[in-house]
Chains A and B, each alone.
Chain A
Amino acid sequence: MANFLETKVDKFIFRVDPTCFFNSEGVWVRVEGNRARLGLSDFLQQRSGDIAFVEVKPEETILVVGDEFSSVETIKVDLDLTSPVSGKVVKVNPALEDSPEIINQDPFGEGWLCEMELSAWETDQPRLLDANAYFTQMKHDAEEEVKRK
């Protein structure tokens, strides 16, 4: 289990998995060989609230960076998530159908959204934030949100 990067803002604790890359929305990517898993960051799931429904593009869907790949309905908001990578969806997390709350409980682990076969990782990666860069951005966003409340 990775040692998370962690910060406390107000009464909330937010974690970032150091093995992942992130787009600015808060979708994470964990690459293994030519495949990757995608999911929601801890900050994104906490900010969005309890998840009611999740839809992910089915297997065999071809995606380009920026294509919508998932919609998440929470008790507070409706999220349309864009793919941080290009490739083909090869697996959708089966747990999401009956237990979408798994995303809230374990956003970097059992709450993954889908797996993809990557087609352009060399060009996609430089556009993403590594864990430290995302941690900095997330901390700033969280602090701004507390000020606004």
Chain B
Amino acid sequence: MPELPQKKVGIIACSGEELPEGTVTRLAALKVLEKLRPGDTVTICLPLFLAGGEGDRAFAKFYPTIAIDGCEKRCAYRGTEQYSNRPAVGIVVADLIAEQGLEHPQGRRKLNAAGMKAVEQTAELAAGKVDELLGKAWSRREGKFSSEPAQGESVATCSCGSDIPVQKVVVNGQEVTLVALPLIFQNIFQLGKVPVSDLAHEIMAMVNIYNSIDPANEAAIEAVVLDAYASYCRQQKEKA
């Protein structure tokens, strides 16, 4: 059985070399990846969506991504949306600078002090978004992030003790166990996907990554999984 990757957030920087703001995106992304949230994030190369990198395409569909762009062209956001999946968050450095009244960064090869300040602010904003996307709730009483599930919620895990979440569905009267289905639902719900028939193929593409599905049953499973996702969405809305 394939190992389920730990839940992470993908960071995509536009890295636009033409502008100092592009350098800001790159350094801010690196700061989040290496210093602020090293265990929770992974980077994806934007050009790999086109030049290869099928693994990267699957990742951006499966996990929430933060696109960090330098300017209004928003290459990272639009490129990810076009070739992989809509990013969960988009940050535009030029907008952030304007909103916070920061000085414009100078230097492409080496940023000036204003540029480094912009890096700091962008990285902090992105790190905060990482926490939100990973579902960590800040407890003011405890003064720390809590990542435990709310009381009453339980997640069935595989009997081998690997803690990989599974979900059983009934297909043509038979019980079928699907590995990673709860996590798949969680992630696409966070991306705002509604349970319409067009979504069924997308969900099945992700189910197929972690399960060996008999092609003879695939259509039936697809229909059942979509119903299950609809139930999941209803439950999440009731909780909210």
> Which residues of A pack against B, CB within 8 Å?
8-12, 143, 146-147, 149
Contact = CB atoms under 8 A, between A and B. Distances in A.
Interface string B66-97: 00000000000000000000000000000000
List 7 A-B pairs, minimum CB-CB distance, nearest first. Answer: A11-B55, A143-B3, A10-B5, A8-B2, A146-B3, A9-B3, A146-B5
Interface string B36-74: 000000100000000000110011000000000000000
Nearest to A144: B3
Nearest to B162: A143
Q: Residue among B3, B5, B6, B59 with the most chain A CB within 10 A?
A: B3
A149 B5 CA distance: 9
- Looking at chain B's contact residues, is the secondary structure mostly helix, strand, loop, or mixed? mixed
Given A11-B54, A147-B6, 5 more contacts: A8-B2, A10-B3, A10-B5, A11-B59, A149-B6
A48 B59 CA distance: 22
Interface string B1-16: 0110110000000000
A10 B59 CA distance: 10
20 contacts: A8-B2, A9-B2, A9-B3, A10-B2, A10-B3, A10-B5, A10-B55, A11-B54, A11-B55, A11-B58, A11-B59, A12-B55, A143-B3, A146-B3, A146-B5, A146-B6, A147-B3, A147-B6, A149-B6, A149-B42
Nearest to A11: B55
Contacts of A9: 2-3
A138 B103 CA distance: 52
A12 B5 CA distance: 12
Nearest to A142: B3
Contacts of A146: 3, 5-6
Contacts of B6: 146-147, 149
Contacts of B59: 11
Contacts of B55: 10-12
Contacts of B3: 9-10, 143, 146-147
Contacts of A11: 54-55, 58-59
A143 B5 CA distance: 9
A9 to B, nearest CB: 6
A9 B5 CA distance: 9
A146 B4 CA distance: 9
A75 to B, nearest CB: 15
Nearest to A12: B55
Contacts of B5: 10, 146
A146 B55 CA distance: 14
Nearest to B58: A11
A125 B133 CA distance: 52
A136 to B, nearest CB: 14
Contacts of A149: 6, 42
B210 to A, nearest CB: 10
Nearest to A10: B5
B135 to A, nearest CB: 19
A91 to B, nearest CB: 35
Nearest to A7: B2
Contacts of A8: 2
Contacts of A143: 3
B134 to A, nearest CB: 15
Contacts of A12: 55
A86 to B, nearest CB: 37
